[in-house]
A and B are shown apart, each in its own frame.
Chain A
Amino acid sequence: MNIDLSRRGFLKLAGAGVAATSLGALGFGDAEAAEKAHVRAFKLASTTETRNTCTYCSVACGILIYSKGDVAAGEQATIVHIEGDADHPTNRGTLCPKGAALKDIVHSESRLTTPRIRRPGTDRFDEISWDEALDKIARALKDDRDANIVLKNDAGVPVNRWTSTGFLAASATTNETAWLTYKTVRAMGIAGLDNQARV
């Protein structure tokens, strides 16, 4: 229950007038308990490790995603940590300030979780079901395409060009998403297809 009270001596040296009180006054518990030096429990123990690629720039750093639960095994999985993959030839485990905080974008408060609709003239989003949203979109596409696709130009040449609906594609989706997007958008005849590479 005793401690090295060198500070007491210090206070004397400094000439300050102080009052004595008990050890417990500072909130100390059992001093022996204080000997239990310990490091924090390693937080990745018993997690699932999955290899992925950073979603930001095109250095495309290899990353390791640690989750509680295993998606590949059909489980619900919550991502608890992300860090660089030391085996990756480009980044060798390093990450930039964006990549090092990837977990935060996965769990951002700005993540969208439900389809929503903002109706004309209103000042809010309302929730909507997937079915309703997708049906509305399909209807709008067909109506506009039927009304506005240009089948032939003035010279009578078939052009099959639909310019009154446009599509901006992503820059971080997979190649596979990109191909499916290309395929469906072009099949409809959309000319105004573009992606972030333009800027």
Chain B
Amino acid sequence: MDPNLDSPRTAAANPPIQPMPANLGAGDVIRASAMPDLAPPQRQLTPVAKLIDVSKCIGCKACQSACAEWNDTVPPIEENVGSYQNPSDLGPEMFTLMRFSEYENPNGDFEWLIRKDGCMHCTDPGCLKACPAPGAIVQYSNGIVDFIHENCIGCGYCVTGCPFNIPRVSKTDHKSYKCTLCSDRVAVGQGPACAKACPTQAIVFGHKDDMIAHAEERVADLKSRGYENAGIYDPAGVGGTHVFYVLHHADQPALYSNLPEDPRISPVVEGWKGITKKVGLAAIGIAAVGSILHGLLGRANRVTAEDDREAEEYVEHSLPPGRS
């Protein structure tokens, strides 16, 4: 780990082709799921952020395309169900998604509000807090929240714990997937593939302070064009995020395909923290947890029946003989 290296400041760069060590590793982890006694990080990287300026977004899906290409995912070829939104939802093969909503504003003018959805890389990540698998979710000192798939058990708790309903568990390999903020690119001084590709630079990447300053300029421009409520969406309820938005209607985030007004980690998931009694894990609790969370968390934070069933099946299949 080279102490002279820090986080990249832009996505507008050409990648290296010479072999180089990753500048992001175990020594940069500040939190890991189910590992309360983690050693402190060896250094503090400058926090990074991806800013999504919804007012500059043309909904072209270059971010989706670049994401799939970089991460070698194969998004499903679905049907058209009367929308531009394809695939129809985030998935284990589609880490980001343009969500389209049609809005007629109080002046009678039409607005087409298009929002790139995906992991927000919360400073206080609900997924990580909910995850029972040691080291399956880590947070680096630059703010990236990353899933370490070798350690993932596919239980779906991360989905439940996420206030933005982002992770998706694969039906094929039973691992949970989401945006990595292209941690492999960031590790070699590059920005995320989506931010580099974005044609209008509605997505930009860099140090979070720089991104905030840029966002403030954008808000001023929007206000000059009559969007009085333009603003930054960097929700405090999750400690701020490392993916954040400029919205023309920051007073009404729900207009943008139900972006949560005040996202928070469920108090129940928060309650897990602090209880440090060390006992064996309740395996059969998986299904029960799912159904309980249904009732308790409500709103966007849903575990689907499908998730429940899968988790249950997974646990059953993975249990050694005589253990169930």
Contact = CB atoms under 8 A, between A and B. Distances in A.
Whether the complex brings A and B within 8 Å at their CB atoms is answered yes
A119 B168 CA distance: 50
Interface residues of A, number: 65
Contact of A100 (B65, B153, B280, B284): B65
Contacts of B274: 6
Q: In the complex, which of the residues A21, A39, A93, A98 has the most CB atoms of chain B within 10 Å of its own CB atom?
A: A39
A43 B318 CA distance: 32
Q: Which secondary structure dominates chain B's binding surface?
A: loop
B206 to A, nearest CB: 14
A44 B16 contact: yes
A97 B146 CA distance: 25
Q: In the complex, which of the residues B134, B135, B157 has the most CB atoms of chain A within 10 Å of its own CB atom?
A: B134
A60 to B, nearest CB: 14
A11 B155 CA distance: 15
Nearest to A41: B184
A28 B134 contact: yes
Interface stretch (A46-54, A149-157, A188-196): A46-54
Interface string A1-29: 01111111111011011111111111110
A26 B135 contact: no
Nearest to B282: A18
Nearest to B13: A86
Interface stretch (B44-52, B195-203, B225-233, B235-243): B195-203
Given A37-B32, A83-B196, A6 B323 contact: no
B59 to A, nearest CB: 10
B281 A5 contact: yes
A34 B65 contact: no
Contacts of B25: 37-39
Given A25-B281, A42-B188, A48-B17, A9 B138 contact: no
Contacts of B26: 35-38
A116 interface: no
Contact of B289 (A11, A28, A38, A85): A11
Nearest to A87: B14
Given A3-B34, A21-B323, A34-B135, A42 B187 contact: yes
Interface in B3-60: 11-20, 22, 24-26, 28-29, 32, 34-36, 38, 60
Interface string B142-181: 0000101001010101000000000000000000000010
Q: In the complex, which of the residues A3, A92, A104 has the most CB atoms of chain B within 10 Å of its own CB atom?
A: A3
A64 B14 contact: yes
B148 A34 contact: yes
Interface string A96-108: 1111110110000
A25 B320 contact: yes
A9 to B, nearest CB: 4
A45 interface: yes
Nearest to B132: A7
A24 B273 CA distance: 22
Contacts of A31: 35, 134-135
A31 B151 CA distance: 9
B133 interface: yes
B318 A85 contact: no
Interface of B: 11-20, 22, 24-26, 28-29, 32, 34-36, 38, 60-62, 64-66, 68-70, 132-136, 138, 140, 146, 148, 151, 153, 155, 157, 180, 183-188, 193, 196-199, 201, 268-269, 271-285, 288-289, 292, 296, 315, 318-320, 323
8 contacts: A10-B271, A13-B268, A22-B281, A26-B153, A39-B180, A66-B17, A83-B69, A96-B65
Interface of A: 2-11, 13-14, 16-28, 31, 33-49, 64, 66, 81-87, 91-101, 103-104
Given A3-B34, A46-B18, A97-B60, 19 more contacts: A6-B271, A8-B281, A8-B282, A9-B272, A9-B277, A10-B268, A13-B268, A14-B292, A22-B281, A39-B24, A39-B184, A42-B16, A42-B185, A47-B17, A83-B193, A83-B197, A86-B14, A93-B196, A100-B66
